[in-house]
Chains A and B, each alone.
Chain A
Amino acid sequence: MATTFQSVGLAALGGMLWSGYTDSVKASPLVLRPPGALKEEDFLTACIKCGLCAEACVNRDTNIDKETGLPRPGTLQMAKGGDSVLIGTPFFIPTEVPCYMCEDIPCVPVCPSGALDMASLLDEKEELDITKSKMGLAVVHKESCIAFWGIQCDACYRACPLLDVAITLEYQKNDRTGKHAFLLPVVQDNACTGCGLCEIACVTEKPAIFVLPNDVAKGKAGDHYVKGWDVKDQVRVGDAHSETTTTDISKRDAGDYLNMEVEY
C-alpha cells in the first residue's frame, strides 16, 4: 500500500518534470515550417515526425543538379538535437536552402497526419497553388539595406519568384545627394509566401531582408480601428463587439498633473 502510494507520488513527480520539459522545448517561435503547415501550436500537436515531407523535398525531380546529376540538399530539415526546434519536426533555414516553391508542392500531399494542410493550398479550381502558402514574411531592415543608402540594388526584387508582386520597388527622390533616386524594396504582405529566396539573394554581409514566422513578423490592429473611407474595412469589423469598462473619475484637480512627478 505504502509502495503504491510512493509509486503514484513518483509518477506525479516524473510527469511534472516531463511536462515541464516538453512544454519548454515546444516553444520555438523563430522557426519556418513547410508550406501549408497548420498554425505553429496545432502543427506541433499534429506532426507525427515521420519525415515524409523532407524526403519528398530532397528527392523531387527538380532537385537534381544539372551539372553533376546528383540531388542537392533539400530545403526541409528534420530537427535534430541542438537545433532548438522541437525534435523531429520539419523546418527550413532560408540562408541554407530556401523553399523553391515547386508548382506541384511535393512535400504537402505526402503528409499522412494532416499537419501540412493541403486544403489551404488549393485554388478555386481545386488545384495546388504554392502562391497560397504562408510560410513566413520577408522583412526589410532599412538601415542595412543598401538600396536605402542610394545604391542601386534590386537583388531581392529580382530573386523573388513572384516578381514585382511580393516585392515591389518604390521610387523615391534621394534628398541626401539631391540628384539621385532610391529604388526601395517593399514587401507585400498579401503576396509574400516566406520562401526565403530574397534572403539568400541579398548581397549584404548579413541579409538585410530576411524571413520571419508570421506570428513574429506581423502586428495586429484589432477591431478598435477602422480605415477611413473604406467600406470593406467596415465589413472586417462587422462582428466586433463593444467592451464596457469603467474607470473611476479622478478626484484630482485638472491642473494637478502639471505639478505631479511622473510615475513609471
Chain B
Amino acid sequence: MKNSKYLLLRRTTQVGLMFLYFAANAYGWKILTGTFGASYVFDTIPLADPYTTLQVLATGFVLGTDVLLGAAIITMFYFVVGGRAFCAWVCPINMVTDLANWLRRKLNLDKKEVNYRFLKRSARYWILVLGLLVSALVGVAAFEVVSPITIMQRGLVFGFGMGFAVVLAIFLFDLFGVKNGWCGHLCPLGAAYSIIGSKSLVRVKHNHEACTACMDCKTVCPENQVLHMIDKESISVTDGECTNCGRCVDVCNDDALGFGIRSFMDVSRTESETLG
C-alpha cells in the first residue's frame, strides 16, 4: 500500500470546498457563498475567477469592484502557492479526470503513448486566447458557456439537469480518447493558472541522489513533461504546468521527491549549466 497522504488531503479539500459551496445554497451558510465565477468568504472577502473576469472584461463590460478585487486576490494567492494548485486541490473536474486516468491504467489503455499532431499540450494556450477573442466578438464570456468546471460546480450546488452529459463527456474523452485530454491539453482555465503560477514559491523538489529511477512518479503524473529532471539533477519542478497535486511525492518510495519552497538558486544554476 503506497502512501496516499496528499491524495487524501486533496480529496478532503476538494470535497470540503464543494460542500461549503453546496451548503451556502442549501442551508444558507455564509462561509463560502457563490460559485467559482465569484464568491465571498464569510460574506466579506470577495473571490473571483481570473479567467472568467478577463473574458467579461474582453466583452467591454466594466465589472463591479468586488469581482476585480476578488480576481486580484485569487491571482495573488495562486501566484504564491502554484497556479494549478487550483486544478489539483479545488476543481471538481479533477476528480472526474483523475478517475478516468486511474481507470485507464487499470484497463491497460496506456500501452501506446499517442502523439497527436494537433492536440499538443500547448493547445490549451491557444484555447485560452481564443476564448478571449470569441468573448470580445460575441459579447458573452465564451468559455463560461461551455466550461465543464462551472457546469459541474453549479450542478453540485444547484442541480445538474442536462449538464451531467458534459461531465460524462469529459470522463469518456479522458478515458477512451486522449490521455489527460481535458486537464492536460484543452482546459484554458488550467492554462491561465499555469501562467499565473509559473513563478510560484511552493514547488516539488527532486533529490537526484535518493532517486532509484523507478519512474513511478512519471506514471502517475498528469503533466509528466514537468518531471524532466527525474534521475538527472536535484532541482525543483519549476514548470507552471505542474499542478502541485503531490501524487509523485506520494508514490515515491525513495524520499526523492517532496514539497518545498522554490529556490531561485536552483534555477540560476540550471540556466548557467545550460549556457555553458
A residues adjacent to B (C-beta < 8 A): 3, 6-7, 10-11, 14-15, 18-19, 21-23, 25-26, 41-42, 44-46, 48-52, 54-55, 58-59, 71, 77-78, 80-83, 86-88, 111-114
Contact = CB atoms under 8 A, between A and B. Distances in A.
Nearest to B160: A80
Contacts of B24: 55
A112 B139 contact: no
A86 B25 contact: no
B37 A50 contact: yes
Given A15-B130, A49-B154, A21 B146 contact: yes
B130 A55 contact: no
Contacts of A114: 61-64
Determine which residue in A54, A55, A112 has the highest number of CB atoms from chain B within 10 A of its CB, and name it: A112
B190 interface: no
Interface residues of B, number: 58
B163 interface: yes
Contacts of A41: 139
B187 interface: no
Given A15-B134, A22-B142, A48 B25 contact: no
B35 A87 contact: no
A45 B40 CA distance: 21
Contacts of B126: 7, 11
A52 B24 CA distance: 9
Q: Which 10 A-B pairs have the closest CB atoms?
A: A80-B161, A81-B162, A82-B162, A59-B28, A50-B38, A81-B163, A112-B66, A50-B37, A50-B34, A48-B37
B145 A48 contact: no
A21 B59 CA distance: 16
Contact of A51 (B35, B145, B146, B164): B35
B130 A48 contact: no
A49 B53 CA distance: 11
A14 B126 CA distance: 10
A88 B66 contact: no
Given A88-B150, A112-B66, A113-B56, A19 B34 contact: no
B35 A80 contact: no
B140 interface: yes
B133 interface: yes
Nearest to B69: A112
B52 interface: yes
B154 A78 contact: yes
A58 B64 contact: no
A71 B140 CA distance: 33
A87 B155 contact: no
Given A48-B48, A78-B154, A112 B64 contact: yes
B33 A55 contact: yes
B28 to A, nearest CB: 4
Determine which residue in A46, A86, A88 has the highest number of CB atoms from chain B within 10 A of its CB, and name it: A88
B67 interface: yes
Contacts of A25: 145
B264 interface: no
Determine which residue in A41, A46, A51 has the highest number of CB atoms from chain B within 10 A of its CB, and name it: A51
Contact of B64 (A42, A87, A111): A111
Given A52-B33, A80-B160, A112-B70, 4 more contacts: A46-B56, A48-B53, A59-B28, A80-B162
A55 B157 CA distance: 10
